[in-house]
Chain A
Amino acid sequence: MEEYQSLLQPGEYLAGIYQTVVIGGGHAGSEAALAAARMGAKTLLITMSPESVAMAPCNPAIGGAAKSVLVREIDALGGAMARITDQAQIQIRMLNTGKGPAVQALRAQIDKALYQRLMRRRLEEQENLDIRQGEVVKLLLNEAKNHIKGCVTANGAAFAAETVILASGTYLSGRVIIGDYDYPSGPAGYPPAAALGRFLRDMGLPVRRFKTGTPARVDKNTIDFSKTEIQPGLQGLYFSYLTRDGEFQRPSIPCWLTYTNPQTHKIIRDNLHRAPLFSGRIEGIGPRYCPSIEDKVVRFADRDAHQLFLEPEGENEREYYVQGMSSSLPEEVQAAFLHTIPGLENVTLMRPAYAIEYDCLDPLSLKATLEHKQWAGFYPAGQINGTSGYEEAAAQGLLAGINAAAACLGLPPLTFDRSQAYIGVLVDDLITKGVNEPYRLFTSRSEYRLLLRQDNADLRLTPTGLAYGLIGEERQRRFAAKKAAMEGEMKRLQAYHPKEKQLQALGLTANRETSLETLLRRPEINYAYIAAHFPPAEPLAADAAEQVEIAVKYQGYIAKQQAQVDKFKKLEQKSLPQPMDYQQIKGLSTEAQQKLTQTQPANIGQAGRISGVSPADVNLLLLWLKTHPQNKTGENDA
């Protein structure tokens, strides 16, 4: 109590004492608050507008390549995103079928408003969790201990806490740019949070400006769908391992495909001088994977058509999202070029496209737990760490929530490495390589992706979730049943050698070695075939059967990746002291010395992934570790 009082300024009052305070109720903040409270930490979620929790300011979709694995991982750890998507989806598809088990990806269109309502309800139903409206303008700093001890709102309400999660998204010093106009704003017309951005700068944290953009929304009633191609969805697909078939009655609303044409491009080209990106009005760094339409027209000048999708923002909303047409050209130019597009000739704008610039922090200063290296108890998560994307934000929020609560409850910190989860890949990339543009996950970022599939996220992570108290009974039961069924069937397939006659009757060649497992490995045979002709005592549930099929069919490649992982793990286990004075290691190259000093890698493996750290530098680190056994920071034996 006194400790906290002493941190307050005149006019501020102590409004509450918590174990964990979460600033911001976006995708990161929501998952963080739920996880921390679920583990039993007394938690406060403080956000500028509780009715906009988990708002999706850009496309009305969850999942997609790489991201869908994240959603599944969040689910396997007891998070909310997958379940709520299943309840709020209005169309779902499986992408990349036939391209390999590691890259199959679910993507759902969601009813945005419904998603927000469901998340709000979930937050309100959560025990140990208080929700409070307010704009945080500063953090409570115990500078003697380098510890963050809570935060203060614009009204002087101070909330004390052992741990603080900052999930402020694109709001900090937000600035919206449309053509010749720019003004301070958060996304979608919500107010920006300028004071907190200034406060972080004053704390001496390096703050950078990133930029992102969103396309226009148009009125459904003014679209001529007959001139576009329909993109229907599928049924019976779910994100959450918990969702039962038919549990939620959801509509399946199509998206629509149409194309730009030379006329569209001409209007864009003629107005390029008014595009802030080209006129220099935008300083923030935007993502290469989300180019605006003016960018595309300039960079791919030889193309005379770009595709665009019309996506519903909700089941009943008239607003349609024009995917592919992100822009920061003036509103009237936007309207003009949209009117050249088949189906959109008479369309009415409901919201213009815009670009937004915002403050974010440097993730190189974070540990793998997402705790800040200089400020104990401080966990930035989500877009504030230079990422982009709902799923990336939610995954970080979950991890930060778990670790913040773990710190308060005396549990060991939780980290994932690159071989365990996409969450691990995401965090390791952030804290090892840093970011030069808003960071998004891609399948190619995950070198061990054949082991990190969306279909086995539960097998990989649910036991961890259980250990941290994040997993409910129902999930636990279903998980155990799936695992047992799968393992039992694998054993059976290996042990069962069909008689030659049996196989001949099916027209299959055979020899002494032929087991059901080797049969299943043949390209022309799938698990359904095995189950039909050599059925197990209990038929397998579809998800367990899928695991069995993948494990057998891709065994060769899975073994290859496992061997890579085994190598990787060895170096990952050799911990480096924190912090470490790299000046004392003679012989390191200057670049390696600088990068290592800045990044302070947790182990030799991470050190080796820093660009500029050579194999020889790694050997010098190994040598140093061996000559300094007094560092009891880890397994230093070679």
Chain B
Amino acid sequence: MKSNEQQTIAAIATPPGQGGIGIVRLSGPAAADILAACQNIPLSEQQRRQPRRLYLHDLFDERGRLIDRGLTVYMPGPASYTGEDVAEIQCHGGPQSLSQILATALSHGARLAQAGEFSLRAFLNGKIDLSQAEAIGDLISAKTAAGARNAAGQLAGRLGKHIGELERRLTAVQAAITAAVDFPDEVDEPQRRHIAEQLAAVAAEVQALLDKAPAGQILRQGLGVALAGPVNAGKSSLLNQILGFDRAIVTSCPGTTRDMLEEYIDLDGLPLLLRDTAGIRQGEDISEPERIGIDKSRQALARSQIVLLVADLTAADFSRPHILSLASACAGQTLLVLNKQDAAAERLAEAKALYSADFAAADILPISAKTGQGVAELLARLKEKAGAAQLWQEEDGLLVNARQRQALQLAVGHIREAQQALAEDLPQDLITIDLEAALTALAAISGREVGEEVLNDIFRNFCVGK
């Protein structure tokens, strides 16, 4: 079930953050159906249109609300990029429309494409020659590596926790039914009413999540760039400097920033999500709010594609032990920012020498957050790094959320089928087939092993055995 050319896949085909036109691409047997559904026209009308020609049409979400106006094109296989039936939807509306269109395509039955999957299909169908195969392999593994490092970030959020909790509850229902089946002498069949209540509650919660999900969650697009470093290094000052206005409070008292701040900027067309974090320090005199802020900082490091490690040139050891320990918690790329150059210009050479073993010379950037000196160079280097980091994009923000959304949608569908089976008084074992499908859908984001989880739950919660 992990890879299947019978399924229609979808993804945003244009690189994120670029202005102008964006494209959602679909490939697979249901491409035409889904394309028609996104325009709210019957399939027959779609089929009357000429292949490979652009049509201007309104685009609607799955509830029939207008998203945007855009161009659509249908390219039947085998004469298409992937060799399968391909559809594309182009629109101007920026990241939000694009993500809504993608979400709509998914709700009409497409599956979110895995990294490099369009190219993979093109290759498997003989559309790309052998010499490119290696490049595709590189693409798949680069994105996957990024995704894996990022996995902690994916599920750390509230939504992730919520999904984990829903999984736990479904697993408990599954385990109760299964325990009664596998240990009929020892465990009574759960009451149908109890199962019905549980399923209704879970289904309602999933639906509520879905209703909330679209705009809010998906908008959080942009390359995550965190500012991290010891207290008082000047992180908040740097944020203000980059933003061009005073967003964060700056004081000379260590531990000023307690809650994480997030701010979007458009860096020459590249959307960045800047995160100012609480300075991380250890010790007993840390207040509870500060400790929570510090935990958030750690998560931010794991979730951000780029981390600016801000060291203090006026500090005795140039903050090096601190910086190195932070670097090890980073999932993405790092840049070392040597701040307060204005106050300690004479120590710069020493600091650079000290850090030369840890960072490439090009990644060490002396600045003054106070005067703005060196900030332009820092941003230039940041843009270069971001180019490479774009490979990641698919795994973060928008698409992770699209994947969660799709998982939720699939899951709720299966739960409804289970509820129906229950209502029709079908035997309980049949219900487990639907529940297993629902759990499998959720497992696509959580990575849990459904079968093992059910057995673990049984042995934990039921006293069974000779």
- Which residues from chain A sit less than 8 Å from chain B, CB to CB? 58-59, 65-66, 95-96, 98-103, 105, 215, 287-291, 296, 299-300, 303, 306-307, 309, 323-324, 326, 442-445, 447, 449-450, 523, 554, 557, 560-561, 564, 567-568, 570-571, 585-589, 608, 611, 614-620, 622-624, 626-627, 638
Contact = CB atoms under 8 A, between A and B. Distances in A.
B464 interface: yes
A257 to B, nearest CB: 9
B463 A306 contact: yes
A635 to B, nearest CB: 13
A34 B459 CA distance: 37
Contacts of B183: 65
B2 A615 contact: yes
Contacts of A616: 114-115, 140-141, 143-144, 147
Given A564-B1, A616-B114, A59 B463 contact: no
A586 B428 CA distance: 46
8 contacts: A95-B185, A98-B427, A100-B430, A444-B451, A445-B451, A557-B433, A589-B145, A616-B147
A169 B133 CA distance: 49
A445 to B, nearest CB: 6
B137 interface: yes
Contacts of B463: 291, 296, 299-300, 303, 306
Given A442-B182, A557-B433, A586-B134, 11 more contacts: A65-B184, A100-B429, A296-B465, A306-B463, A307-B186, A444-B174, A445-B451, A615-B2, A616-B144, A620-B140, A627-B133
A622 B140 contact: no
Given A65-B184, A622-B3, A587 B120 contact: no
Nearest to A67: B182
B181 A96 contact: yes
A243 B430 CA distance: 30
Interface string B158-195: 00000000000000001000101111111001000000
Contacts of A289: 459, 464-465
A497 B138 CA distance: 61
Contact of A619 (B114, B134, B148): B114
Contacts of A323: 466
A559 to B, nearest CB: 11
Given A100-B428, A638-B124, A567 B6 contact: yes
A290 B432 CA distance: 24
A442 B187 CA distance: 14
Chain B, interface size category, equals 35 or more
A92 B466 CA distance: 18
A66 B185 CA distance: 14
A620 to B, nearest CB: 6
A619 B182 contact: no
B466 A290 contact: yes
Given A99-B429, A557-B430, A589-B148, A618 B3 contact: yes
Contacts of A554: 430
A51 B133 CA distance: 63
**Most central of A59, A447, A561 by chain B CB within 10 Å:** A447
Counting from the closest, the 3 A-B pairs by CB-CB distance are A587-B141, A100-B429, A100-B427
Given A96-B181, A561-B433, A587-B140, A59 B427 contact: no
B5 interface: yes
A608 B123 contact: no
A450 B178 contact: no
Contacts of A614: 144, 148
A288 B459 contact: yes
A100 B421 CA distance: 12
B178 A447 contact: no
B443 to A, nearest CB: 12
Contacts of B114: 615-616, 619
Contacts of A215: 466
Interface of B: 1-6, 114-117, 120, 123-125, 130, 133-134, 136-138, 140-145, 147-148, 174, 178, 180-186, 189, 421, 424-430, 432-433, 436, 449, 451, 454-455, 459, 463-466
B3 A59 contact: no
B317 to A, nearest CB: 34
Contacts of B180: 99
Contacts of A638: 5, 124-125
A620 B141 contact: yes
Nearest to B148: A589
A77 to B, nearest CB: 24
A619 to B, nearest CB: 6
Contacts of B1: 564, 567-568, 571, 608
Contacts of B425: 523
A444 B459 CA distance: 13
A585 B136 CA distance: 12
A586 B427 contact: no
Nearest to B444: A615
B429 A443 contact: yes
A59 B185 CA distance: 14
B123 A626 contact: yes
Contacts of B134: 586
A371 B137 CA distance: 34
A424 to B, nearest CB: 15
B144 A589 contact: yes
Contacts of B140: 587, 616, 619-620, 623
Contacts of B144: 587, 589, 614, 616-617
A306 B186 CA distance: 9
A66 B182 contact: yes
**Most central of A324, A444, A624, A626 by chain B CB within 10 Å:** A444
A443 B182 contact: yes
B4 A324 contact: no
B16 to A, nearest CB: 20
Contacts of B186: 307
**Most central of B115, B124, B178, B184 by chain A CB within 10 Å:** B184
A299 B189 CA distance: 22
Contacts of A291: 463, 465
Contact of B182 (A444, A447, A624): A444
Contact of A618 (B2, B123, B433): B2
Nearest to A441: B182
A626 B124 contact: yes
A103 B180 CA distance: 10
